């Protein structure tokens, strides 16, 4: 009988071991999904018992704060629609977006010292609070950008070229994050999709703004190109497809070709780069990556090198191919040229503060990509100054200082061209880079460039 | 049966035995006491002063009561296993801490039941030290057990879907909890007596040799009782415990896996018939297979349990940090889910390991016992307690269908607690005798 007892013992212990294994699977592997299940009311309950942290702009203006009305916590967004896409919203029914979603755990005091503090507070039956965030954006500029976009479909991104800090990230049309629950059905049905953050999720053909990238690639492959003279006859036929220009520019050098945005020259340069060379320079400017700004960014997309026909390559080199990028990507291109070829890592959160207001973590300025050599960046900068001084981007000019820029008017199947402008200022010692896009609004020089100029002017006057 | 002098076993002329002063047990109880104090003190600050104070006092008094049991046994020279009492102390104080955290009123009642349980434990260790007499009257209390089980069907009070309580006004009694012990004793006695016949068989049908009606009749009756419980009291959990313990003991006694398979087959056949004829059994199985379509109704409980366990993660939300309010029947059936939510995987595994050690000690006692009755009884008690813990933990994790049974020593419930202390006492008595047998 003893062997049987032993077997019984093994069986019982085996059952418990199976339980431990299954419990581990349940708590560690399936745990996060179970904790986040919409039927699981724990997170909501946790939130209702905690004072969510405040989100400030770089000058201390409140962008999102929690107030108590009739004993119930309520999230208030004083900036309203102007910063709605970046800051995001929280809704019990419709989830959360933007900074509110990306830094949820910090704002709820579930990380670091606040986690310990809230554990103690709970044990002592005291109020719990979450950590605060100080963003890099400026609420006044943010509001100005939203006003300049004026409800039209489009986006504006402004970066500090030296640090990578995002000063403006605006998307239009906007929505009021204070009333997401009440206006939800209207917002999701609106054909203009106001809930989308066009600055980070909008996918646009870059139009002529991509020419600065192609120029960087061409100069990198052949530095002698700077002194070469091209002949523009006003059109180019590639594989039976005809690319036309606004005018026959005649004999021009690269600098002038960029300033007047000559399609023929850049289609030619793109074809010379070959699909692989073209991809390399697109990648060196980070266009196919999520730069990790703090909220999710749609990586740029394009036809793979193997599948790229000469016609597609020529079209892509003037920003009219299948390539799609976000305004943030193009702002980073401008910032890289402004910063002598080095793109700084972009970020939107300047400081993480704990619930007591002590800074627990600070943004680290670091380079992200080396897109071009300082010499090449210098050539591009001068061309972009020319574009503003006598080329297509004249409307971006402001009295305070010299602006450098490049326009784009991207054709698309939905009507008028998308108006693009990318640029930076002051041209001699750049501090700010900007990208503006307006969907189906006309030419970049006429529609997008003036917005960039006004915004740069306002930013400089505010001391950025 | 009753020994006038509790110290007679260590009387003059008998050399003091190692471990008779029960120092290791006392040391372990000291740590169990620290554990209980830590739990109660963690609850204290967030509670209203009066309940917090009560919780701390309850923890303190419970710890002292466990020490008193140890000191009394030490004085008597009682040589029962040294590890079972500390394990029980940790399990029952875990339950006590969680009950105070969930609902202080239940905590206070459980505290009283815990003291009653310890008193019963001392009585069992004293009055039933010569437990062998229990095998003599097996048919009488088999009958008593059946009557006790059937009473609630006619006079019982329905609670949480199961009709298994007898209402005595001042308190309610769940006869099934006590009958479990009678079942193990009955089977141990019956199987010892009929082991040879059951193993060899008296008549053959082809290659199969089977015992006569007189031998397998009582076993068939057990099967019938299990099914009756299932049908009339809607108590799937208790039926499962009875039946699996029964199979474990039959196998241990006869070494015939044939009985196990036949038994399992019959149980499955019975369960399948119930599935077919009884709506509530069918619902249970459907919920078990896929609870999501029933999330608002019958699947609510098991999904809330999964949410709680899943939200606990590795280290848990911390004592008081979870939301046990979402868990129906949290103080009884789902207490393990609340432990997992607040103590995490580490805490949940800790509780499981305590049950493993309990079973391990029980099997060790069975292996070292003096005769077959003691060995069978010890393995039956170990299987009973282990299987009960397994079935409810597997139920709340949806490994098995969720049933309404208690987690031994942890869940709220006077009947369950006292019955488990009786079980502990009998197991200790068997080990007391075994050690005397081996060491003198």
C-alpha pair distances (Å), B330 with each of A243, B304, B312, B325, B338: 73, 10, 15, 8, 7
CA geometry: angle at A108 spanning A106 and A112, to 5°?
45
Domains contained in chain B, number: 1
Pseudo-torsion of CA A179, A180, A182, A186, nearest 10°?
120
Q: Give me the pLDDT at residue B171, please.
A: 64
Is residue A12 predicted with pLDDT exceeding 80? Answer: yes
Q: Give me the pLDDT at residue B174, please.
A: 78
Q: Return the CATH number at A208.
A: 3.40.710.10
Residue A203 inside a domain? The answer is yes
Is residue B1 predicted with pLDDT exceeding 80? Answer: no
Q: Do B390 and A2 touch (CB under 8 A)?
A: no
Nearest to A12 among B45, B382, B393 (CB): B382
CA distance, residue B49 to nearest chain A CA (Å): 12
Q: Do A16 and B306 touch (CB under 8 A)?
A: no
Q: Is A20 on the interface with B (CB under 8 A)?
A: yes
CA distance, residue A11 to nearest chain B CA (Å): 10
Q: pLDDT-derived band of residue B173, with 50, 70 and 90 as boundaries?
A: confident
Q: Give me the pLDDT at residue B288, please.
A: 86
Pick the residue from chain A with its C-alpha nearest to B346: A24
- Least confident range from A242-251, A258-267, B58-67, B130-139: namely B130-139
Is residue B280 predicted with pLDDT exceeding 80? Answer: no
Q: Which residues of B touch A20 (CB under 8 A)?
A: 349, 352-353
CA distance, residue A182 to nearest chain B CA (Å): 26
What average pLDDT does the segment A269-280 reach? Answer: 93
Cβ distance A163 to A258 under 8 Å?
A: no
SS3 (DSSP) at B133: helix
Residue A38 inside a domain? The answer is no
Q: pLDDT-derived band of residue A138, with 50, 70 and 90 as boundaries?
A: very high
Q: Which residues of A touch B41 (CB under 8 A)?
A: none
The fraction of chain B above a pLDDT of 70, given in percent, is 83
Domains contained in chain A, number: 1
Residue B156 inside a domain? The answer is yes
Q: Do B45 and A39 touch (CB under 8 A)?
A: no
In whole angstroms, give the CA distance from residue B207 to residue B209: 7
Q: Do B345 and A27 touch (CB under 8 A)?
A: yes
Is residue B48 predicted with pLDDT exceeding 90? Answer: no
Q: Which residues of B touch A2 (CB under 8 A)?
A: 367, 375
Residue A456 inside a domain? The answer is yes
Q: pLDDT-derived band of residue B319, with 50, 70 and 90 as boundaries?
A: confident
SS3 (DSSP) at B183: helix
Q: What is the tens place of the pLDDT at every residue in B6-46? A: 554 444 444 445 556 788 899 999 999 999 999 998 888 77
Average pLDDT, chain B: 82
Q: Cite the beta strand spans of A326-388 per DSSP E.
A: 342-344, 349-353, 359-362, 367-370
Bridge-based pairing state of the strands A241-244 and A235-238? antiparallel
Pick the residue from chain A with its C-alpha nearest to B311: A35
Residue B413 inside a domain? The answer is yes
Residue span of the structural domain in which A359 resides = 142-461
Residue A254 inside a domain? The answer is yes
What average pLDDT does the segment B236-248 reach? Answer: 84
Q: What is the tens place of the pLDDT at every residue in A444-453? A: 889 999 999 9
What average pLDDT does the segment B207-213 reach? Answer: 63
Which of A6, A11, A19 is most worth mutating to test chain B (most B CB atoms within 10 A of its CB)? A19
Is residue B205 predicted with pLDDT exceeding 80? Answer: no
**Phi then psi for B326, rounded to 5 degrees?**
-80, -10
Residue B1 inside a domain? The answer is no
Residue span of the structural domain in which B173 resides = 8-439
Is residue B210 predicted with pLDDT exceeding 90? Answer: no
Which of B300, B311, B400 is most worth mutating to test chain A (most A CB atoms within 10 A of its CB)? B311
Q: Which residues of A touch B352 (CB under 8 A)?
A: 16, 19-20, 23
Q: Do A34 and B326 touch (CB under 8 A)?
A: no
């Amino acid at each position: 009988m003893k062997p049987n007892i032993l077997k019984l013992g093994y069986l019982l212990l085996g059952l418990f071991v199976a339980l431990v294994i299954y419990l581990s699977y349940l708590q560690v592997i399936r745990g996060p999904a179970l904790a986040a299940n919409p039927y699981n009311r724990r997170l909501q309950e946790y939130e209702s018992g905690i004072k969510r942290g405040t989100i400030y702009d770089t000058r201390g203006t409140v962008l999102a704060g929690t107030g108590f009305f009739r004993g119930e916590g309520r999230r208030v967004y004083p900036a309203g629609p102007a910063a709605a896409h970046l800051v995001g919203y929280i809704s019990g029914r419709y989830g959360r977006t933007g900074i509110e979603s990306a830094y949820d755990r910090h704002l709820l005091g579930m990380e670091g010292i606040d986690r310990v503090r809230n554990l103690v507070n709970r044990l002592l039956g005291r109020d719990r609070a979450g950590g605060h965030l100080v963003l890099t954006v400026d609420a006044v500029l943010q509001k100005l950008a939203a006003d300049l976009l004026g409800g039209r479909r489009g986006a504006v991104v402004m970066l500090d070229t030296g640090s990578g800090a995002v000063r403006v990230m605006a998307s239009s049309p906007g929505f009021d994050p204070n009333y997401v629950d009440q206006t939800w059905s209207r917002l999701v049905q609106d054909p203009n999709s106001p809930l989308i953050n066009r600055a980070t999720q909008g996918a646009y053909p870059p139009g002529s703004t991509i020419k600065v990238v192609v120029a960087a690639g061409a100069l990198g492959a052949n530095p002698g190109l700077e002194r070469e003279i091209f002949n523009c006859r006003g059109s180019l036929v590639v594989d039976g497809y005809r690319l036309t220009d606004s005018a026959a520019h005649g004999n021009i050098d690269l600098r002038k070709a960029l300033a007047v945005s000559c399609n023929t020259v850049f289609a030619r340069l793109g074809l010379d780069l070959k699909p692989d060379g073209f991809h390399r320079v697109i990648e060196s400017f980070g266009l196919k990556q999520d730069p990790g700004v703090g909220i999710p960014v749609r990586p740029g997309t394009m036809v793979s090198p193997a599948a790229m026909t000469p016609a597609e390559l020529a079209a892509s080199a003037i920003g009219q191919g299948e390539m799609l990028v976000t305004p943030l990507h193009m702002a980073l291109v401008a910032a890289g040229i402004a910063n002598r070829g080095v793109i700084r890592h972009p970020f939107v959160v300047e400081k993480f503060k704990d619930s007591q207001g002590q800074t627990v973590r600070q943004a680290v300025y670091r380079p992200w990509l080396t897109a071009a050599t300082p010499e090449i960046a210098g050539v591009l900068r001068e061309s972009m100054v020319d574009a503003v001084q006598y080329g297509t981007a004249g409307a971006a000019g402001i009295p305070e200082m010299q602006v450098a820029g490049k326009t784009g008017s991207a054709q698309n199947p939905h009507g008028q061209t998308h108006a693009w402008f990318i640029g930076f200022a002051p041209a001699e010692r750049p501090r700010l880079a900007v990208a503006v896009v307006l969907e189906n609004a006309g030419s970049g020089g006429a529609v997008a460039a003036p917005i960039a100029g006004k915004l740069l002017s306002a930013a400089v006057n505010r001391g950025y | 049966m009753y020994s006038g002098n509790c110290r007679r076993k260590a009387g003059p002329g008998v050399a003091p035995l190692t471990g008779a002063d029960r120092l290791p047990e006392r040391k372990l109880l000291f740590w169990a006491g620290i554990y209980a104090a830590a739990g109660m003190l963690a609850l204290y600050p967030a509670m209203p002063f009066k309940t917090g104070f009560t919780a701390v006092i309850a923890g303190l008094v419970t710890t002292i009561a466990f020490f008193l049991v140890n000191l009394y046994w030490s004085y008597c020279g009682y040589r029962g296993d040294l590890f079972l009492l500390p394990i029980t102390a940790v399990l029952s104080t875990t339950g006590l801490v969680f009950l105070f955290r969930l609902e202080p009123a239940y905590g206070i009642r459980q505290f009283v039941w815990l003291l009653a349980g310890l008193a019963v434990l001392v009585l069992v260790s004293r009055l039933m030290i010569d437990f062998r007499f229990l095998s003599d009257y097996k048919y009488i209390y088999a009958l008593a057990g059946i009557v006790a089980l059937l009473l609630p069907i006619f006079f019982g009070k329905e609670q949480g879907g199961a009709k298994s309580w007898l209402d005595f006004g001042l308190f309610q009694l769940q006869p099934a909890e006590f009958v479990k012990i009678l079942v193990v004793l009955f089977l141990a006695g019956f199987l010892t007596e009929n082991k040879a016949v059951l193993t060899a068989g008296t008549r053959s049908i082809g290659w199969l040799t089977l015992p006569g009606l007189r031998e397998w009749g009582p076993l068939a009756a057990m099967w019938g009782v299990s099914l009756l419980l299932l049908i009339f009291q809607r108590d799937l959990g208790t039926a499962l415990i009875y039946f699996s313990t029964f199979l474990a003991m039959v196998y241990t006694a006869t070494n015939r896996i044939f009985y196990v398979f036949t038994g399992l087959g019959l149980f499955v056949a019975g369960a399948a018939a119930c599935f077919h004829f009884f709506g509530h059994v069918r619902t249970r199985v459907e919920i078990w297979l896929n609870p999501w379509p029933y999330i608002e109704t019958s699947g609510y409980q098991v999904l809330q349990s999964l949410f709680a366990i899943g939200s606990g993660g590795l280290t848990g939300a911390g004592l008081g940090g979870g939301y046990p309010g979402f868990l129906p029947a949290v103080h009884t059936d789902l207490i393990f889910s609340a432990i997992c939510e607040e103590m995490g995987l580490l805490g949940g595994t800790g509780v499981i390991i305590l049950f493993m050690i309990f079973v391990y000690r029980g099997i060790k006692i069975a292996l070292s016992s003096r005769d077959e009755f003691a060995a069978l009884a010890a393995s039956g008690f170990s299987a009973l307690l282990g299987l009960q813990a397994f079935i409810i933990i597997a139920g709340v994790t949806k490994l098995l269908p969720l049933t309404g049974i208690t987690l031994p020593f942890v869940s709220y419930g006077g009947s369950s607690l006292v019955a488990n202390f009786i079980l502990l006492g009998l197991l200790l008595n068997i080990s007391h005798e075994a050690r005397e047998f081996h060491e003198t």
